[in-house]
Amino acid sequence: MLRKIPKTMATQHPDNTLPAYWLGKEFISTYEEVEECYHMFKDLKVDEYMWDWEGKFVDESVLEKLFRDHYDYFKKNQLGKDKFLTFRLPNIWQERGYRLARAFMNILSNEDLGHDFNFHSPPVFEVILPMTKKVSELIHINSVFNQLAQFKKNVFGSNGEYLEKLSVIPLIEETKLMVGLDKFLEDYLVEYTKQMNESLPDLRVFMARSDPAMNTGIVPSVISVKAAMSHIANFEKEKGIPSYSWLGAGSLPFRGGNNPDNYKAIVNEYAGLSSISIQSAFRYDYNLPDVKKAINYYNEHLQSKYNNTLILDKSEIKLISEINSIFTKEFQQTIPDIADTINLVASKIPKRRERVLHIGLFGYSRGVGKVKLPRAIKFTGSLYSLGIPPELIGTGRGLKELKKRGYLEFLSKVYKHLADDLNRAGHYLNKENLEMLCKKDKVWDTVREDIDNISDYLGEELGPKTTHHFIHRNLVSTVYYKMLNNEDFSPEIVMSGQIRKSLG
């Protein structure tokens, strides 16, 4: 049965520096997120809203409040048919399972709620599984849900038909899994068919940009998505199963470069993309007419078919793996040794949402000693607040090696806007801060080498160009000097974030 595939999803990522336009303040509480959901649908015309159960507090009465407080709107714009509320589940292989049980019961009770309001039912039927690594995890989620659905039906009854299984969306956060996604998709189809006694009706695959960049640097995080999109397109062509690529991307280039100033480049870079996330900085740190224009463009131009997807052959997929290894090695050579500085600055970045312990996917704690890092927004924000954009780290050394091997032409094919992204990030470079950091610790010399190599690649020097870039440079100089004097530099972090239009 054909259904609407959402193209734009508003998420709860806490990366905004300015107040939410509908609220008048920067911090959005758990209970204010219900109203945010309504405004994103009504004002911004997004198709979908992520209701996040992973690592944060949750208002479990979300559907009751939406239907009660905005009955007329949701009578005309039916959840589960016209608009979509999609749950991001906790990963029970990473944290305790009680949140999963609550999320499942919420989905099942919302089915009855939809019936009671004479609305489309079920209003919620899709879920996102973060940090997906194995096919068995997706199957297990559906198996557990089915058991709970049967229990609920037997004990509490149901109004006619009832939801027995979910559409589980894998959120892929590892570059290696993206590059090898063809095998994952094949295995998933086999296991799903075996367990459900039917073929997959359709498949959405959600690819992260932030956490992969934190582990490997910006280049592998982009070109791995291209490999995954190629695999998804081939899967649809070969199996005849409608399959959709979905990108999770923040505003700054390191986390995706998805913002109201760059939306046409995103559509060009990720040709064939079906869905994209619209995070808080996108929605609140830009002028509202520009935000609406960009979302409308996505709603009109993102595709429900793979037509324009860059298709890569096996040799090109193998080359992506080789390039990933080069950049990852250089990036991971530097990051663990500057982690203490990153954590210190990150501790001063203000909160924008109510979060509990939020578990991420970090290669460092597993593979490079016991280094701990903040989540992606604060990681990115801390380095920008020092005037050392993370896009630059490891990238210059990687480009130098690619030039030696003759791979630069291929890289420009799979990462069309690399030069633009490096230039955009490079405007926020503070060379004076970098020189002082180099004097304190030689590890920063590798970053200086990166910058020299990137300048050679671009044919121009990195650094501020406009008045606002220079103001940003001055603010992050103040951050550095206040850090040396053990003074509070939170105001300068926020002001510099307002200039670049994202905390991190």
3-class SS letters over 3-61: CCCCCEEECCCCCCCCCCCCCCCCCECCCCHHHHHHHHHHCCCCCEEEEECCCECCCCC
Q: What's the rounded Cα separation, in Å, for the pair 454 and 469?
A: 19
Q: In whole angstroms, what separates CA 431 from the centre of its chain? A: 29
Q: What's the rounded Cα separation, in Å, for the pair 234 and 237?
A: 5
Which pLDDT value is given to residue 358?
Answer: 44
Q: What's the rounded Cα separation, in Å, for the pair 344 and 299?
A: 40
Closest to 494 in 3D by CA, of 14, 140, 133, 109: 14
pLDDT 10s digits, 441-488? 999 999 999 999 999 999 999 999 999 999 999 999 999 999 999 999
Q: What's the rounded Cα separation, in Å, for the pair 25 and 199?
A: 47
Q: Which helix (H) or strand (E) holds 303?
A: none
Instruction: List beta partners, residue 220.
Output: none
Which pLDDT value is given to residue 361?
Answer: 46
| DSSP 8-state secondary structure symbol assigned to residue 79 | B
Q: Which helix (H) or strand (E) holds 493?
A: helix 490-500
Q: Which helix (H) or strand (E) holds 503?
A: none
- Give the ranges where 256-360 is alpha helix by DSSP (H): 263-269, 280-284, 288-301, 314-334, 339-346
CA 33 to each of CA 66, 69, 88, 354: distance values in angstroms, whole numbers, following the listed order: 11, 14, 14, 10
Q: What's the rounded Cα separation, in Å, for the pair 363 and 139?
A: 25
The pair of three-digit structure tokens given for residue 39, joined into one six-digit string: 């405004």
Q: The tokens 């080789």 sit on which residue?
A: 322
Which residues have CB under 8 Å from 22's CB, separation 6+?
35, 36, 39, 43
Which pLDDT value is given to residue 362?
Answer: 46
Task: Please give the backbone phi and psi of residue 6, each rounded to the nearest 5 degrees, phi first.
Answer: -60, 140
Which residues have CB under 8 Å from 141's CB, separation 6+?
89, 127, 129, 166, 168
Q: What's the rounded Cα separation, in Å, for the pair 343 and 328?
A: 21
pTM, to two decimals? 0.95
Kindly provide the b/e burial profile for residues 441-460, where b requires at least 16 CB atoms within 10 angstroms of the residue's own CB: eebbebbbebbebbbebbee
Which pLDDT value is given to residue 158?
Answer: 67
CB 224 within 8 A of CB 179: yes
| DSSP 8-state secondary structure symbol assigned to residue 255 | G
User: How many other β-carbons are positioned within 10 Å of the β-carbon of residue 182?
Assistant: 18
pLDDT 10s digits, 355-379? 764 444 444 433 344 688 999 999 9
CA 456 to each of CA 217, 339, 391, 399, 432: distance values in angstroms, whole numbers, following the listed order: 19, 28, 16, 10, 20
Nearest 5°: the CA angle 107, 249, 184 is 65
CB 358 within 8 A of CB 375: yes
The pair of three-digit structure tokens given for residue 71, joined into one six-digit string: 């009955």
pLDDT 10s digits, 119-140? 999 999 999 999 999 999 999 9
CB 374 within 8 A of CB 343: yes
CB 131 within 8 A of CB 361: yes
Nearest 5°: the CA angle 120, 123, 126 is 135
The SS3 of residue 207 is strand
The pair of three-digit structure tokens given for residue 176, joined into one six-digit string: 């290696």
Instruction: List beta partners, residue 8.
Output: 276
CB 430 within 8 A of CB 444: no
Which pLDDT value is given to residue 364?
Answer: 40
Which pLDDT value is given to residue 359?
Answer: 45
The SS3 of residue 219 is helix
Q: What's the rounded Cα separation, in Å, for the pair 217 and 329?
A: 9
Instruction: List beta partners, residue 168.
Output: 127
Handedness of CA 233, 234, 236, 240 (dihedral sign): positive
Which pLDDT value is given to residue 159?
Answer: 64
Which residues have CB under 8 Å from 317's CB, separation 6+?
179, 227, 230
CB 374 within 8 A of CB 211: no
The SS3 of residue 62 is helix
Which pLDDT value is given to residue 363?
Answer: 44
The ranges of the chain with pLDDT < 70 are 1, 95-97, 158-161, 356-370
pLDDT 10s digits, 29-71? 999 999 999 999 999 999 999 999 987 789 999 999 999 999 9
